[in-house]
Amino acid sequence: MPWGLNVALGSTALIGAGIWLVRRHQVKYGPDAPWLAITALLLGLAFLRRDAATLAAFDAIALVGALALAAASLQGELVATWYPLDFIRGVVTASAASIVGGFQLLLGDIQWHELPQDDRLRNVRRALLGVAIAAPLLLVFAALFASADPVFSTVLTNLFAFDVETVIQHTFFFCFWGFLVAGYFRWSFLGRPIQLLAPANRPVSSIVPVATALGLLNLLFLLFVVVQLRYFFGGAALVEATSGLTYAEYARRGFFELLTASGLVLPMLLGAEGLVRNGTAPQLRVFRQLSGLLLVLLAVIMASALQRMRLYVAAFGLSTDRLYATSFMILLLGVLAWFAWTVLRGQRQKFVFGSLMQGLAVLAGLHVLNPDAFIINTNLNRPAAERPFDAKYALTLGGDAVPSLLAALPQLGAEERCVVVHGLLKRWDTEEVDWRTWNWSRARARNLVRNQAGALRASCPIKPPGLRNDH
């Protein structure tokens, strides 16, 4: 079942219940709780707009993170001053407590023997006993009446015509999500923060080990930067003569490796900063100088990676993996710059909060960009002589891509146009609509395709063979 109105309603109800509990019990929450609640609400409502599977997955991850931080804020913690390990602690503890919290409620918190035993509960038990006594009699008489009158038999059949498997499945998921919500609220309102073991504030005996490691890394990064600059100025001929690869293959091979290397630098520097944070002023100055140099070299490497991605897209087209990897690279550049501005300047308490804001800003930017439509438009604007438009891949994208595909039909070749037409009709003209999965982009895609269904079928009456999918 696709995500849409169901997630928006569920997250809104969850946040509304939390606000009601806070006000009813006058809970003293941390200063970060209001903006975290608003963030979680906006992330839940985001499922109503875009129809892009990867973007929805990132929205879900961000929603889980916002709810975990909100739980910590309800316990009185100052999320804005957290450091990376605190963030990991908050998400892990909230997730684990949501799973086991339901058991704690049922087996420990609720004192079942103290529940009121008034006349209403006694009457409910008596009524259930009466149902159990009458059940076999009802079955016998219903079978007799159904055999005696076909019309009555039809009425009984229609009355109990439901899918047992569906009922069991829905009951399971109701209980499952209710169990998690109960555990989450128990942790938020009854739990206590689990603090990490603080390292002893011992002075740094020597900066030499850390400085040596950073110095060697700087030498390696510098060597790689020199090679990259040589390839940039030498161009495609130098790449082909040196590596035996075309310029496009060279770009395709290197981007994700450079992305991984860039992502490893940040935790490494955070760990090194944790080792030397109690050092003397000269020791800290050496660490900051070496770390700053490493970040400068890393910026050149990341620029090289982005250049490779540009060449990669020019040769092979844009895809979801390439778009989101580029977005992550841009986010990583911003986070590393923020690390230099905060941690290397002695303001480490501002680092995580600023990084979270950058992550949310990039996520919001992706929503504004409209990834699936951007991918279609980018691939359509590439010269067809260099690389034909991959119609089969375009059909795997979400509802956001449909308006761009319909608008591009006149500029496609006959075979590609028919692949797009039949793919759109198969997916959007026959799709069953469920109000729980409603999404604005999917609703617009269905309406556009159904309104043009007759003209689309007339333009391509014969279904063509599928095109290749290079992505």
Per-residue pLDDT, 260: 86
Q: pTM value? A: 0.83
Per-residue pLDDT, 467: 43
- Domain residue limits, the chain: 5-114+164-190, 126-159, 208-369, 374-459
- Degrees to nearest 5, angle at CA 114 with 113 and 119: 95
Instruction: Look up residue 88 and give its two tokens.
Output: 């990991």
- Give residue for tokens 């400085």: 211
Digitized pLDDT (tens) for each residue of the chain, 471 residues in all: 788 999 999 999 999 999 999 999 999 999 999 999 999 999 999 999 999 999 999 999 999 999 999 999 999 999 988 888 888 999 999 999 999 998 888 888 877 776 666 666 667 777 888 888 888 888 888 888 888 888 888 887 777 776 777 878 888 989 999 999 999 999 999 988 887 765 556 677 788 989 999 999 999 999 988 877 766 554 555 555 555 556 556 666 667 778 888 889 999 999 888 888 888 888 889 999 999 999 999 998 888 888 878 877 877 889 999 899 899 999 999 999 999 999 998 888 889 999 999 999 999 999 999 999 999 999 988 776 667 788 899 999 999 999 999 999 988 888 888 999 999 998 898 767 788 889 999 999 999 999 998 888 888 877 665 544 444
Per-residue pLDDT, 277: 84
> How many of the other CB atoms lie within 10 Å of CB of 370?
21
Per-residue pLDDT, 365: 96
Distances (CA, A) of 59 to 4, 47, 68, 198, 458: 12, 8, 14, 33, 39
Nearest to 14 by CA among 207, 185, 231: 185
Per-residue pLDDT, 471: 47
Contacts of 161 (CB under 8 A, 6+ apart): none
Our measurement of the distance from residue 126's CA atom to the centroid of its chain's CA atoms, rounded to an integer in Å, reads 50
Per-residue pLDDT, 337: 94
Distances (CA, A) of 242 to 227, 235, 248, 271: 11, 11, 14, 37
